[in-house]
Structure 1
Amino acid sequence: MVNLFVPENVEVFSEAVMGTVEKTITQNLPGRVKCLGSYWPARFYHSNCDVIVFPDDFVQVVGRQGITMLVLPRSLGN
């Protein structure tokens, strides 16, 4: 059987960019952010992050996996 799902490598940005949450992000639920002039699926960079970020909150976008942006809450991104 051929495995069609190949996990994509994580690309960590050399410098984080600011993003704005459009759809709530939790530890177990990906959301959506606006950054770099467009809207992207997003999840926390650290899977054990137990913070909740709500629409209009700012996050640090630190990388991507495929088209999913990897974010840190501002309190952890500093």
Structure 2
Amino acid sequence: MKYLFVKVEIEMFPEPLIGTVEERITSNQSGRVKFLGTYWPAKLHESDREITLIPEETIHIIGIQGITLLVVPINNELTHQK
């Protein structure tokens, strides 16, 4: 049996968006966020430290990979290159 693995590209948003954690997200485990009235799978974007996002915490959504939103804590310093 042959498997086909397709690399899913990351799309970064020009400005961070606001969402709310619905299901806990850690540095090692994906979770779920509520964004624009809909629930999305989500994971932390390139964190070099241990982070845990808990339900009802407000977060920044900075990109998407497939259908998974890429998130960071609100207090995280964001740098967007233009």
CA RMSD for the aligned pairs?
Answer: 1.6
Which position in structure 1 is the counterpart of 2:13? 13
Which position in structure 1 is the counterpart of 2:37? 37
Runs of 5+ unmatched residues, structure 1: none
SS at match of 1:75: coil
**Structure 1 residue ranges, 4+ long, deviating more than 6 angstroms after superposition:** none
Work out which of the two has the higher radius of gyration on C-alpha atoms and give 1 or 2: 2
CA contact (8 A) 1:60 1:77 kept: no
Cα offsets for 1:33-64 (capped at 9, x unmatched): 01132110000011434110100001100000
Cα distance in 1, alignment partners of residues 77 and 36 from structure 2 = 18
TM-score normalised by length of structure 1: 0.89
Cα offsets for 1:17-41 (capped at 9, x unmatched): 1000000000111000011321100
Which position in structure 2 is the counterpart of 1:25? 25
**One-letter amino acid of the counterpart of residue 10, structure 1:** I
Distance 1:36 1:49, change over 3 A: farther
Distance 1:39 1:9, change over 3 A: same
Cα distance in 1, alignment partners of residues 3 and 49 from structure 2 = 30
Cα distance in 2, alignment partners of residues 36 and 48 from structure 1 = 28
